[in-house]
Amino acid sequence: MTKPCVSVVVPIYKVEKFLRQAVDSILRQTLREIEVILVDDGSPDKCPEICDEYAQKDKRVKVIHQPNRGLGAAYNAGIAAATGEYIGLVEPDDWIEPEMYEVMYKNAKYYDTDATKCGFWEYNSLDSQRNRERKGIWGIVCNEPRGSFKIEDYELLCAYHSSIWSYIYKASFVKKIKFVETNGGAAYVDAPFGFEVLCRAQKLSIVPRSFYHWRLENHGNSVSITDKRVLAMADRFIEAKEILKKTGKYDALKEIFYLHARNANYGHYRAVEYRYKKEYFKKLQQLFADLKEDQDFCWKYLSSKDKRWIEAINHNRFLASDKGQIFKTWRRFVLDVFIRKEGFLVQVCGCQIAGGKFPYRPYWCQWKIGA
């Protein structure tokens, strides 16, 4: 096969149920000159056999089998092995529209970009109310530029959902950028990678169409808010902040960076088990420390409520919302009811009764009191 136009890297771990849909959607691309690199990250289910099966049926498919080293290591291995002119990333439980890479490749070639982005769809088969198209930033008017641009020309892109899989990247550019490698499963490695791409790219472009379908269902391979690994969200944004400083983009992009950092961490911090609160709080102090003495920060995108939250963190004040959360946790442990049209869940003194097709357990039903 001649040099592929696009190499598609798929990191794989415990997604036997969805893997065929993902790979089939890639192989059905209208752009035929593609290379598909399936990185089996030591998956303990039937994923390794499924990967080998596809490699035998289609010579465009290559398989890498490696011991489990985490998402970042799987991405790094796949990108290093890619031979295409551009590189795309697809998560193994998602799928893409047939014309995705043809349209994006033509756009990237026309504007000679380092990275080109499209929109995407959120999908949850258990909760149709959560299915929606994702473009821009909620609550902010995003007049996306046409043609190529640098990140300083459209800084709002820094606060879009990281969605690193909704891009294609020029191989000669992205092979110089490495994912953070962590042990113990997914650890939000998209944040530092995404910010380094945006900061180092000389040309970016946006295709105003949504081709990618991002599955939101928790199928046992995600980090739960009851899991201490959720604290890695703050770690990754601390690393992203250092990337902004290293690339000389911090002063130009700090207003929009902290909007993304706040949006990514606020909900996790509020919902994380109380026993991890103090450690998360300290990480947030490190993340927002530069704002404590920054007289030039204008709070351009952050609300007054956001400002109070960040200032409370920087001044080491135990947040009122934390005190309220303690009370709510105990009250919900004693008695609470969660009802939706798909089903119901009742908790009484830690015992739970559920009925119907319940889409997911509300976070308060996952908490363990004490510790």
Strand partners, 132: 122
- Assigned domain for 142 exists: yes
- List the beta bridge partners of residue 149: 204
Residues 263 and 158 in one domain: no
Beta strands 61-66 and 34-41 are parallel
Q: What are the start-end ranges of the E strands in the chain? A: 6-12, 34-41, 61-66, 86-89, 95-96, 115-123, 132-134, 167-170, 204-215, 335-340, 343-348, 351-356
Query: Whole-angstrom Cα distance, residue 199 to residue 244?
Result: 7
Q: What is the pLDDT of residue 4?
A: 97
Report the pLDDT value the prediction gives residue 371, as an integer from 0 to 100: 30
Residues 311 and 340 in one domain: no
8 Å CB contact between 23 and 54: yes
Same domain? For 272 and 303 the reply is: yes
In a domain, 208, yes or no: yes
The residues, any chain, with a CB within 8 Å of residue 197's CB and separated by 6 or more, are 114, 115, 164, 167, 169, 174, 177
Q: Is residue 105 part of a domain?
A: yes
pLDDT for res 368: 37
Structure confidence at residue 367 (pLDDT): 40
With a pLDDT cut of 90, the percent of the chain lying above it is: 70
Q: Which residues pair with 212 in a beta bridge?
A: 96, 120
349 and 252 in a common domain: no
Q: What is the pLDDT of residue 369?
A: 33
Q: Given a cut of 50, is residue 354 above it in pLDDT?
A: yes
Predicted pLDDT at 340:
67
Residues 304 and 344 in one domain: no
pLDDT for residue 324 is more than 70: no
219: pLDDT confidence band, cut at 50, 70 and 90? low
- Separation of alpha carbons 184 and 181, rounded Å: 10
Written as six digits, the tokens of 151 are: 């990140």
Looking at the structure, tell me whether residues 136 and 40 fall in a common domain.
yes
10 neighbors 38 (Cβ within 8 angstroms): yes
Question: Per-residue confidence at 228, pLDDT binned at 50, 70, 90?
Answer: confident
Does residue 202 sit within a domain?
yes
Residue 224 lies in a domain: no
As for how many domains the chain has, the answer is: 3
Confidence of residue 341 (pLDDT cuts 50, 70, 90): low
**CA-based angle 10:15:19, to the nearest 5?**
60
In the structure, what pLDDT confidence band is assigned to residue 271 with cuts at 50, 70 and 90? Answer: confident
Query: What pLDDT does 323 receive?
Result: 54
User: Does one domain contain both 77 and 205?
Assistant: yes
- Tell whether 255 and 346 lie within a shared domain: no
Nearest-angstrom CA–CA distance, 344 and 145: 45
Instruction: Mean pLDDT check: name the lowest of 23-27, 90-94, 270-274, 296-300.
Output: 270-274
Contact 260, 287 (CB under 8 A): no
Q: How many CB atoms lie within 10 A of CB 124?
A: 17
Backbone angles phi, psi at 27, to 5 degrees: -70, -20
Helix (H, G, I), strand (E, B) or coil at 335: strand
Query: What's the mean per-residue pLDDT of the chain?
Result: 88
Looking at per-residue confidence, does 200 or 268 come out higher? 200
pLDDT tens figures, 254-263? 999 999 999 9
Please give the residue range of the domain that contains residue 353: 329-365
Strand pairing report for 335-340 and 343-348: antiparallel
Higher pLDDT, 132 or 53: 53
How many Cβ atoms sit within 10 Å of the Cβ of residue 324? 10
For residues 45 and 166, state if they share a domain.
Answer: yes
- What is the per-residue pLDDT for 337? 73
The confidence band for 131, taking pLDDT boundaries of 50, 70 and 90, is confident
Choice between 228 and 65, residue whose per-residue pLDDT is larger: 65
What is the DSSP pairing of strand 95-96 with strand 115-123? unpaired
Is the sign of the CA dihedral 183, 184, 185, 186 positive or negative? negative
Query: What mean pLDDT is predicted for residues 42-57?
Result: 97
CA separation, residue 130 to residues 65, 89, 127, 136, 364 (Å): 35, 23, 6, 17, 19
pLDDT at 246 over 90: yes
pLDDT at residue 303, as a whole number:
94
Question: Is-contact 287 237, C-beta < 8 A?
Answer: yes
Q: Is residue 323 part of a domain?
A: no
Counting beta carbons within 10 angstroms of the beta carbon of residue 220, is it exposed (0 to 12), middle (13 to 18) or buried (19 or more)? exposed
Q: Are residues 61 and 134 in the same domain?
A: yes
Q: Does the pLDDT of residue 21 top 90, yes or no?
A: yes
Residue 370: inside a domain, yes or no?
Answer: no
Closest by CA position to 53, among listed 45, 43, 63: 63
d(CA 168, CA 201): 12
Q: Of all residues in the chain, what percent carry a pLDDT higher than 70?
A: 85
In 3-state terms, what secondary structure has residue 99?
coil
pLDDT digits (tens, 9 = 90+) for 142-195: 899 999 999 999 999 999 999 999 999 999 999 999 999 987 555 789 999 999
Tell me what pLDDT residue 334 has.
64
- Report d(CA 4, CA 195) in Å as an integer: 27
In CATH, what number is assigned to the domain containing residue 147? 3.90.550.10
Do 141 and 98 fall within a single domain? Answer: yes
Is residue 186 located within the same domain as residue 255?
Answer: no
